[in-house]
Structure formats: C-alpha cells, structure tokens
C-alpha cells in the first residue's frame, strides 16, 4: 500500500499530527562547508505555543524549489518575524545532510530550519505526499505551506502544478 493519500486529509482548525523530522542545526563549524554536522531530531511538539510556517518542497536543489520557492522566504524572513512567526521550517524528503547543505548554499542557514521528512512520512499523514517513483524520485513531499499556531492549522496552501500559485512567501505573508 502506498503511503501517498489521494487527497489532503489535514484541514484548517485541525491539530497537526505528531511528527519527528531530522535536521542539522547550524553551527559556525558548518560555515566553510567542510563539516557535515550531526543530524538531530526535531519534533512538532516543539511548536506548542508558537506560530510556525511550514513550507514543503519536493526536493532541495530542484529548479522550482531552489530558484523560485526558497528565495522568497529568505528575502522576507524579517517580515515573517515581524508578523509573529517563531520559525520558518522548510521540509523535503531529502536526507538531513542535503537539507543542511541547501540551507547553507541559499543563506539564512542559522535562521530557517531545513528539515528532512524521512520518506515523506509526516506529509503522508497530512495527505500531502507525492509519488514520484515513475520519475525515479520515490515518495516525496508535495509542494505546500502551512501556518501552524499552537499546533493548530490556521492556513493551508497546496500546489498542483510546477509553479508557485498558492505557497509563495508573499501569499503566506498575506495570511498572517
């Protein structure tokens, strides 16, 4: 049975399911790109009492994700903070070392959390995973964004095509 749901199962007003991601916290040792860091667990339970923007992409270093999606969040990071966002979390099914490298290459590696959703497990629970095995990529996280406030979903944006219509930084900012 595929872990990919046919439709979005999480709705505005729902409490997010518990989830555990992997990420490499930024340290100064990572700045010169010769160190790899040590992956750690990052749990959704850490979002209790916080406002979190979750942005999920099919893959780090992929054209739309790398060239269009992430840059808007980097450019507008301070505005997200001014609007009360405690953390911006970028998710992909890539391993935590790739996510860490992506963050360091793109900037704000010490501010945005670049986390791995292993095998798109958490995204699958939300009904937001995508089966790209036909293209050789396996099960991936779909392109989506959530605003989560004290573990409750207050906004969901999904994308059906290759571009950004609903989940860009500017669209998310308009809902904060």
Instruction: Give the C-alpha separation, 64 to 117, whole Å.
Output: 19
Q: Single out the residue of 85, 53, 64 nearest to residue 143, CA to CA.
A: 64
Instruction: Give the C-alpha separation, 67 to 46, whole Å.
Output: 29
Q: Single out the residue of 24, 47, 45, 50 nearest to residue 36, CA to CA.
A: 24
What does the radius of gyration of the chain's CA atoms come to, in whole angstroms?
15
Q: Which of 10, 30, 52, 65 is catalytic?
A: 65
Instruction: Give the C-alpha separation, 156 to 16, whole Å.
Output: 12
Instruction: State yes or no: is 65 an active-site residue.
Output: yes
What's the count of helices (H) and strands (E) in the chain, helices before strands? 6, 9
Burial of 59 from C-beta contacts in 10 A (0-12 / 13-18 / 19+) = buried
Residue for token pair 């964004």: 145
Structure tokens at 15: 């409490």
Q: Which of the residues are catalytic?
A: 65
């Amino acid at each position: 049975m595929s872990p990919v749901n046919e439709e979005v199962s999480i709705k505005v007003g729902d409490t997010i399911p518990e989830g555990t991601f992997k990420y490499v916290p930024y340290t100064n040792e990572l700045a010169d790109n010769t160190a790899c860091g040590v992956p750690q667990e990052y749990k959704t339970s850490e979002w209790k009492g916080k406002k979190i923007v979750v942005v999920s992409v099919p893959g780090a270093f992929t054209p739309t994700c790398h060239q269009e999606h992430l840059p808007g969040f980097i450019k507008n990071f301070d505005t997200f903070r001014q609007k009360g966002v405690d953390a911006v979390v970028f998710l992909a099914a890539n391993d935590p070392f790739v996510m860490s490298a992506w963050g360091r290459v793109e900037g704000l590696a010490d501010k945005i959390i670049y986390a791995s959703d292993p095998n798109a497990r958490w995204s699958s629970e939300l009904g937001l995973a995508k089966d790209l095995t036909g293209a050789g990529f396996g099960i991936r996280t779909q392109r989506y964004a959530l605003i989560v406030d004290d573990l409750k979903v207050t906004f969901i944006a999904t994308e059906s095509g290759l571009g950004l219509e609903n989940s860009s930084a500017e669209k998310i900012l308009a809902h904060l």
